[in-house]
Amino acid sequence: MKDEQPAEVLGEGRFARFVRRNGWEFCDRTRVGGIVAVAGLTEAGEMVLVSQWREPVRAVVVELPAGLAGDEAALEGESLETAARREMMEETGCGGGRWEELLSGPPSAGLSSEIVTFFRATGLSRQGAGGGVGNEKIATHLVPFGELEAWLVGVQAKGWLVDPKVYAGAWFLAEAAGGKGAE
Amino acid sequence: MKDEQPAEVLGEGRFARFVRRNGWEFCDRTRVGGIVAVAGLTEAGEMVLVSQWREPVRAVVVELPAGLAGDEAALEGESLETAARREMMEETGCGGGRWEELLSGPPSAGLSSEIVTFFRATGLSRQGAGGGVGNEKIATHLVPFGELEAWLVGVQAKGWLVDPKVYAGAWFLAEAAGGKGAE
């Protein structure tokens, strides 16, 4: 461990701040207990994906169902698995199944302090409409796992972007199935 | 496309700035032509990974070889593939082989405008020492692809973190080999 210099706050927002420490500049979420993302597969073998407008990149982005743990007062102290199950249900209406916590890793370690905890959920079933809460506008996509590559190529052809964590999720699901593509 | 409001700069650094636009707060790199990351496999079937200290998460992080295109005056205008090959050589000493551009996607679309362009490189050979340039201190790891899972579990057990893009890279390599694990 290197000595920690005090962080210098270069900019303060409502949800995050911009910090300099030991010569590095990065974003730091300020009201979050953790970040969760779920590689989910339905009983029918479909990968559960979502898409939504992401202003930082000004595009619709295809992502794993994901969200923040404990980002509202009523949710303070919730466990990461509780948050992951809640986000999956809110965003996609999918629930049930078998859940397993995987790694926690930083998706952008050079520019952000974010650490995402991944879950694998298999045997999910559609129990609600999804779509998100509040002013979230989230579309759900149930993609047959064997058609994933072609589907992702297709959405990129129409100008959407794909978060690389989707491919990490595909690896986690293939791992559970004992081989890529779950053939 | 939604109407674009002018961005409000909440904080300005040397390498990045912190911006609010249409109610979103995010980080924006300011001196970059693009970001590249490489899923690389040697002739001997080893995945090429790097590790380095990442101050934003205060840990050693295992990542794909990666870097910024055109972040120095002398590199202005270089193509993304040129940048990817340069970063692979600088960081790991690996070169040669067959290169293919894959998707460009945002690793953290809720908090950052970063978009990473992925390459797949196979048949790489070790031609130099690697380690990075300037004050970079980068360790190279050549991990037999069939032992990847166990190796990643091992490094996390000693307190290192793994960037989820490593798993995306594993998916890209498995895809090329026609099956997960390249068995």
Q: What is the per-residue pLDDT across A25-37, written as a single tens digit (0 to 9) for each? A: 999 988 777 899 9
DSSP B41-74: EETTSEEEEEEEEEGGGTEEEEE-SEEEET-SGG
Which DSSP symbol is given to A109?
A: T
ipTM, interface predicted TM-score of the complex? 0.92
**Rounded Cα–Cα distance for residues A96 and A103 (Å):** 21
CB-based contact A29:B112 (threshold 8 Å): no
CB-nearest to B57 from A57, A113, A167 is A113
Indicate the helix (H) or strand (E) that contains B21: strand B16-21
- What is the model's pLDDT at position A182? 37
Name residues whose C-beta falls within 8 Å of residue B81's C-beta, 6 or more positions apart in sequence. B99, B101, B119
Interchain CB contact of B181 with A (< 8 Å)? yes
Nearest to B133 by CA among B46, B47, B56, B74: B74
Query: May I ask the CATH architecture of the domain B33-177?
Result: Alpha-Beta Complex (3.90)
- Range name among A18-27, B51-60, B72-81, B109-118 with the lowest pLDDT average: B72-81
pLDDT in tens, A31-90: 777 899 999 999 999 999 999 999 999 999 999 999 998 777 667 778 999 999 999 999
CA angle B176, B180, B183 (to 5 degrees): 90
pLDDT band, residue A181 (cuts 50/70/90): very low
CB-nearest to A172 from B10, B113, B167 is B167
CB-nearest to A110 from B21, B56, B110 is B56
Intervals of CATH 3.90.79.10 along chain B: 33-177
Cβ of B63 within 8 Å of Cβ of A109? The answer is yes
pTM (two decimals)? 0.92
Chain A nearest C-alpha distance from B31 (Å): 13
pLDDT in tens, A66-76: 999 877 766 77
- What is the model's pLDDT at position B179? 54
